[in-house]
């Protein structure tokens, strides 16, 4: 569900940004406003980013190979990280460069008349239409995100989501809306005051905004690339499922890691009794795997479960054999969590 919703949001954003990029660039050619050039490059960057997200989503669906036995799910994270780099360089840094260039040109300039061109009104119309189109794209991303967000706040959703497309589109569209407002602010004040410095300031504000969003995205994508554990509610459900078979006394430890947005690696060591036969242990492990997969049906689990002898003995058993205090044996039993097979 999250993959389909992410694809829908990506396509909506791509179509909106492509149309906006063309109209903004035409407006820049007609008027020369640097805010329009910065915004047109911003939209071109966003359009290319959405293409990258679609390519990453398609490549991530490839079957596992001997060289990549866990599949290509993380390729979606790779392409999302590239998106952050493009947004930082092609979007943010270019806007800052253009702002400085515009400021240098306009510094000390007198007699500037923004109404000299008969097309002075074009940027206002283009930016207004752009706000409407970006609002439609942002609304689509919000609606699709609400299907999987649950009760999480928006910041928590963006930071904890394992599916990169929706958070990326949300931040891109939010940044695009704010950028359009900043561009409208710069162009509007330039027209009202006949001072081109406001155009440069609007462009600089767009650049700073894009750099901040790009850095935030890069940090989040880096964390996903390194490998994040399953969400707390998923970890809890998996742990309870692993402890459900009677033959398994307890879970000594369990580790989870996302191999992709919907693929999770589960490695666990479970304690079984010494008298249990191998066939009973094998059946218990199979039962635990089935229970874990049923507990988190929205995830594809790759599971490795290792049995170990439970060395934690009851107080009554220790006292009946006269082998020391419970504290002493409990310490020995606890140490078994760090021994045994790898």
Q: Are residues 79 and 105 located together in one domain of the fold?
A: yes
Count CA within 13 A, CB hemisphere, residue 256: 23
Q: Are residues 138 and 261 located together in one domain of the fold?
A: no
Main-chain phi, psi angles of 259, to 5 degrees? -90, -15
* Sign of the Cα pseudo-torsion (122, 123, 125, 126, in order): positive
Task: Identify the pLDDT of residue 151.
Answer: 85
Task: Identify the pLDDT of residue 107.
Answer: 66
Task: Identify the pLDDT of residue 48.
Answer: 86
Task: Identify the pLDDT of residue 216.
Answer: 92
Q: Are residues 165 and 265 located together in one domain of the fold?
A: no
Task: Decide: helix, strand or coil at residue 270.
Answer: strand
Domain membership of residue 93 (yes or no) is yes
Number of domains making up the chain: 2
Q: Are residues 289 and 189 located together in one domain of the fold?
A: no
Q: Are residues 252 and 166 located together in one domain of the fold?
A: no
Q: What angle do CA 18, 21, 24 make, to 5 degrees?
A: 150
Domain membership of residue 342 (yes or no) is no
* Sign of the Cα pseudo-torsion (107, 111, 115, 119, in order): negative
Residue (of 2, 12, 1, 58) closest to 169 by Cα position: 12
Its domain, for residue 137, covers 2-226
Task: Identify the pLDDT of residue 282.
Answer: 92
Q: What is the pTM of this model?
A: 0.75
Domain membership of residue 92 (yes or no) is yes
Q: Are residues 255 and 222 located together in one domain of the fold?
A: no
Task: Identify the pLDDT of residue 339.
Answer: 36
Taking the chain (342 residues) in consecutive chunks of 10 residues, what is each chunk's mean pLDDT? Answer: 62 80 84 80 83 88 90 91 85 84 70 67 85 84 85 89 86 87 88 86 89 91 92 93 90 93 93 86 93 94 91 49 43 38 38
- CATH code: domain of residue 198: 1.20.1510
Domain membership of residue 315 (yes or no) is no
Q: Are residues 172 and 240 located together in one domain of the fold?
A: no
- CATH code: domain of residue 302: 3.30.70.1350
- Find out whether 258 and 227 touch, Cβ atoms under 8 Å: yes
Q: Are residues 206 and 248 located together in one domain of the fold?
A: no
């Amino acid at each position: 569900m999250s993959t389909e919703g992410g694809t829908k949001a990506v396509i909506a954003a791509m179509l909106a940004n492509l149309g906006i990029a063309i109209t903004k660039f035409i407006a820049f050619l007609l008027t020369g406003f640097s805010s329009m050039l910065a915004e047109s490059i911003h939209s071109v960057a966003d359009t290319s980013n959405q293409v990258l997200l679609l390519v990453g989503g398609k490549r991530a669906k490839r079957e596992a190979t001997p060289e990549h036995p866990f599949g290509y799910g993380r390729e979606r994270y790779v392409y999302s990280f590239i998106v952050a780099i493009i947004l930082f360089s092609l979007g943010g840094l270019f806007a800052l460069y253009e702002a400085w260039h515009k400021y240098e040109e306009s510094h000390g300039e007198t007699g500037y008349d923004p109404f000299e061109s008969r097309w002075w009104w074009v940027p206002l119309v283009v930016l207004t239409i752009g706000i409407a189109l970006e609002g439609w794209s942002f609304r689509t991303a919000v609606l699709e995100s609400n299907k999987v967000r649950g009760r999480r706040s928006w910041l928590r959703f963006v930071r904890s989501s394992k599916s990169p497309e929706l958070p990326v589109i949300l931040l891109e569209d939010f940044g695009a809306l704010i950028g359009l407002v900043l561009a409208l602010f710069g162009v509007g004040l330039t027209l009202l005051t006949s001072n081109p410095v406001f155009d440069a300031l609007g462009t600089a504000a767009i650049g700073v905004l894009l750099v901040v969003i790009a850095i935030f995205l890069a940090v989040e994508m880096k964390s996903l690339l390194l490998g994040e554990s399953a969400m707390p509610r998923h970890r809890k459900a998996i742990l309870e499922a692993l402890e459900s078979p009677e033959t398994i006394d307890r879970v000594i430890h369990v580790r989870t890691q996302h191999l992709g947005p919907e693929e999770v690696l589960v490695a666990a060591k479970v304690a079984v009794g010494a008298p249990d036969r191998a066939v009973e242990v094998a059946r218990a492990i199979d039962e635990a795997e089935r229970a874990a997969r049923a507990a988190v049906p929205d995830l594809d689990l790759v599971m490795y479960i290792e049995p170990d002898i439970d060395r934690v003995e009851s107080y009554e058993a220790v006292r009946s054999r006269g082998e020391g205090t419970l504290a002493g044996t409990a310490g020995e039993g606890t140490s078994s969590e760090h021994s045994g097979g790898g």
